Amino acid sequence: MPARMRPDERLPLYQQLSDEMLARIAAGEWLPGTPIPSETELTRLHGVAIGTVRKAVDTLVKQGILERNHGRGTFVRRPQFAESFFRFFRQVSPTGNQPVPQSRILTRSLELPPEAVRHSLALEKNEPTVYLTRERIIQEDRLFREEIWLPKDRFSPLLDIDPTQFANMLYPFYEERCGQLIASARETLTIESADKHMAKLLGIAAGEPVVAVERIALGYDATPLEYRLSRGAAEGFRYQIDLR
Amino acid sequence: MPARMRPDERLPLYQQLSDEMLARIAAGEWLPGTPIPSETELTRLHGVAIGTVRKAVDTLVKQGILERNHGRGTFVRRPQFAESFFRFFRQVSPTGNQPVPQSRILTRSLELPPEAVRHSLALEKNEPTVYLTRERIIQEDRLFREEIWLPKDRFSPLLDIDPTQFANMLYPFYEERCGQLIASARETLTIESADKHMAKLLGIAAGEPVVAVERIALGYDATPLEYRLSRGAAEGFRYQIDLR
C-alpha cells in the first residue's frame, strides 16, 4: 500500500475499512466507473470478516461514494452534478433541449487567495493558488462570470497549458491533467447588488440584483479542491434542484 | 394484495418487482424507518430468483428510496430535505445553532388551482385543491410567505382541522393526518421584483428583489402531492445545498 495516513484504530473496524477505501479512491487507485475488488477479495486483503466488509460498503453507498450493480460488482460513483450548470438555465430551446454552455478562460495566474478562500481550501498562509477567471456564455448573452481558486500543489499542471486549450467542462479536465477527482460540493446562493465593475462585466446597470453562487468542491476524502464564485444577472436566472 | 395497478409485464422482472415495491411504499404498507421483508422473504413472496430481488433492491437504493443497513435489514429511506428550511438561513446564532423557524397558517380554503399549479399536480379540470397561505418567521422578522396547493382527494382531512393546530413541520403532519408520504421534491429558484402587495407582506419597498422558490413535492411512486410557492426578500437570503 502506498504511504498514506493510517486509519484511526480507535474507530470500529468497518469505519477504519471505509476510511481506507475512501483513501484509495481519493488517491485514484480505484477509479469511477470501474468495479472495486469483490467482497471476498476485500475480506482476504484486509483480514476482516465479510460482515465488516459489507458494513463498510453500505456506509459508502449511503454516502453516495459507491454504488452496487448486482451481477456487475460495486463501483465508485461518479458525481452527478458535474453537468449541473444546466440547473442554471431558464432558456430551453423549442425542442426542449438545453443549449450547451460555452466557456472561456479569461485570465490565469498564480495568486495568494483572499482570506475566506484560503480558509475554505484549508491552505496554510502563503500557499499560492492557481487563479482563473472564466466566462460562461449561452446563446450570445454573457451569463456567468466565474472566479476559481485551486491549490497550486495539486493543480500546477494547469500553469503549463495554454488557457485556450482548457476543456469546456473543468472537472473531467482536472481529472485528466491533474489526477484530481471531484466527488461532492457545497453550493451557497446569495443575492447581491451589482457594483460598477460587475455591472459592466455582466452588461447590466449598477445596482441591479446579481446572483452569487459560491461552490466549494471536495475530493472523495473530503479534501477541499476548488473554490469557485460565479456571478450572473438575477433577471432570467433560474436554479433548479432535485431533493431527496 | 390491495387493488393497484399491475406492473407492466413488458418490463424486465426486476423492474416489475421494484415498481411493485414502490407501490407498497407509496400505499404506506412499508413505512420509512421500518425494515422491509428480507431478500429471502421477497424471493418467496414474489416467486422470483434472489438475483432479481437484489437487482430490484439495488435499483431502489440507487434512487434513494431504500437503504441497506448491514445486520439490521433494508429500510425505506426517509427523505433528508424535510428539515431543509435550514438551508435558507443566513442567521446563525453565536453558539452555531440554527434558530427554529416558526410557522403560522394564515388562510385555508378549497380552491380551483391556477393553470400552472393544476398542470404540475397532474389534476383534471375542476378538481379542487386545499389552498393554504402560510408565514414562516424567524427571530421576529417575517421571512417567507408561502402558498400551498394540495389535491383535495388526498388531503381533505386538513379541511377539518383548526389551522392553529397545524404542526410546524408539514410533511410529518401530512403523513400523520392524511397518510401522504413525501419522498422527493424539485425546487426552482427565480428572482422577482416585489409588487406592491408582496412588498407590503414582506415589509420591503416595492421593486426590491424577492426570491421565489417553487417546490413540487412527490410521493414514493412519483405522484405529485404538493405545490408550494415561497417568497422572501432577497436581502439576507441564503440557499445552501450539498451536491453529489
Candidate from A80, A188, A237 with C-beta closest to B240: A188
- On the 0-12 / 13-18 / 19+ scale of CB atoms within 10 A, B149 is buried
Does one domain contain both B56 and B99? Answer: no
Note whether A187 contacts B: Cβ–Cβ < 8 A. yes
Residue A239 forms part of a structural domain: no
Note whether B120 contacts A: Cβ–Cβ < 8 A. no
If you measure CA to CA, which chain B residue comes closest to A65? B244
Determine the residue type at B31.
Answer: L
Where among A76, A102, A123 does a domain terminate? A76
Does one domain contain both A35 and A85? Answer: no
Tens of pLDDT, residues A94-104: 455 556 678 89
Does one domain contain both A50 and A138? Answer: no
Q: 3-class secondary structure for A179-192? A: CCCCCEEEEEEEEE
Indicate whether B203 pLDDT > 60: yes
Partners of A71 in the beta sheet? none
Residue B191 forms part of a structural domain: yes
Q: What pLDDT score does B92 carry?
A: 44
Q: What band does A42 get if pLDDT is binned at 50, 70 and 90?
A: very high
Q: What band does A194 get if pLDDT is binned at 50, 70 and 90?
A: very high
State what percent of residues in chain B have pLDDT above 90: 68
Q: What pLDDT score does A180 carry?
A: 94
Q: Which residues between 191 and 220 in chain B have a beta carbon less than 8 angstroms from any beta carbon of chain A?
A: 191, 209, 211
Residue A7 forms part of a structural domain: no
Note whether B184 contacts A: Cβ–Cβ < 8 A. yes
Q: How many domains does chain B have?
A: 2
Q: What band does B64 get if pLDDT is binned at 50, 70 and 90?
A: confident
Q: What pLDDT score does B79 carry?
A: 84
Candidate from A67, A68, A191 with C-beta closest to B191: A191
Q: What pLDDT score does B103 carry?
A: 87
Indicate whether B136 pLDDT > 80: yes
Q: What pLDDT score does B91 carry?
A: 46
Asked which of A155-169, A172-186, B11-25, B129-143 is least confident by mean pLDDT, the reply is B129-143
Average of per-residue pLDDT values in chain A:
88
Indicate whether A191 pLDDT > 50: yes
Contact A184 B79 (CB under 8 A): no
Q: Are B187 and A243 in contact (CB under 8 A)?
A: yes
Where among B28, B47, B76 does a domain terminate? B76
Candidate from A61, A80, A238 with C-beta closest to B190: A238
| Residue whose entry in the numeric block shows the C-alpha cell 397545524 | B166
Q: What pLDDT score does A87 carry?
A: 63
Q: What pLDDT score does B2 carry?
A: 41
Indicate whether B3 pLDDT > 50: no
Closest-CA distance, A70 to chain B, in angstroms, reads: 5
Separation of alpha carbons A231 and A134, rounded Å: 11
In degrees and rounded to multiples of 5, residue B177 shows phi and psi of: -95, -30
Mean pLDDT in residue range B21-41 = 92
Does one domain contain both B197 and B215? Answer: yes
Residue A58 to residues A174, B18, B196: CA-CA distances in angstroms? 29, 20, 53
Does one domain contain both A121 and A135? Answer: yes
Indicate whether A63 pLDDT > 90: no
Does one domain contain both A22 and A49? Answer: yes
Does one domain contain both B141 and B29? Answer: no
Does one domain contain both A24 and A109? Answer: no
Q: What is the CATH number of the domain that holds B62?
A: 1.10.10.10
CB < 8 Å to B58, chain A: 67-70
Q: What pLDDT score does A94 carry?
A: 47
Residue B99 forms part of a structural domain: yes
Q: What pLDDT score does A34 carry?
A: 86
Note whether A165 contacts B: Cβ–Cβ < 8 A. no
Residue A225 forms part of a structural domain: yes
Candidate from A64, A70, A191 with C-beta closest to B211: A191
Separation of alpha carbons B148 and B164, rounded Å: 16
The residue ranking higher by pLDDT, B92 or A150, is A150
Q: What pLDDT score does A100 carry?
A: 65
CB < 8 Å to B67, chain A: 61-62
Note whether B72 contacts A: Cβ–Cβ < 8 A. no
Asked which of A53-62, A129-138, B75-84 is least confident by mean pLDDT, the reply is B75-84
Residue B240 forms part of a structural domain: no
Closest-CA distance, A224 to chain B, in angstroms, reads: 13
Q: What pLDDT score does B244 carry?
A: 80
Does one domain contain both B65 and B130? Answer: no
Partners of B231 in the beta sheet? B145, B212
State what percent of residues in chain A have pLDDT above 90: 68
Separation of alpha carbons A92 and A120, rounded Å: 34
If you measure CA to CA, which chain B residue comes closest to A219? B244
Tens of pLDDT, residues A114-145: 999 999 999 999 999 999 999 987 666 657 89
Q: Which domain holds residue B210?
A: 81-233
Mean pLDDT in residue range A29-41 = 92
Q: What pLDDT score does B94 carry?
A: 47
Separation of alpha carbons A58 and B236, rounded Å: 39
Does one domain contain both B210 and B118? Answer: yes
Mean pLDDT in residue range A108-112 = 97
Where among B35, B60, B76 does a domain terminate? B76
Residue A238 forms part of a structural domain: no
Q: What is the CATH number of the domain that holds A91?
A: 3.40.1410.10
Record the cell numbers describing residue B179, joined without a space.
397518510
Residue A6 forms part of a structural domain: no
Record the cell numbers describing residue A139, joined without a space.
446563446
DSSP annotation of B47: T
Separation of alpha carbons A55 and A213, rounded Å: 36
| Residue whose entry in the numeric block shows the C-alpha cell 477509479 | A31
Does one domain contain both A65 and A93? Answer: no
Residue from B150, B172, B147 nearest B232 by CA: B147
Q: What band does B151 get if pLDDT is binned at 50, 70 and 90?
A: very high
The residue ranking higher by pLDDT, B7 or B162, is B162
Does one domain contain both B100 and B200? Answer: yes
Q: Are A208 and A235 in contact (CB under 8 A)?
A: yes
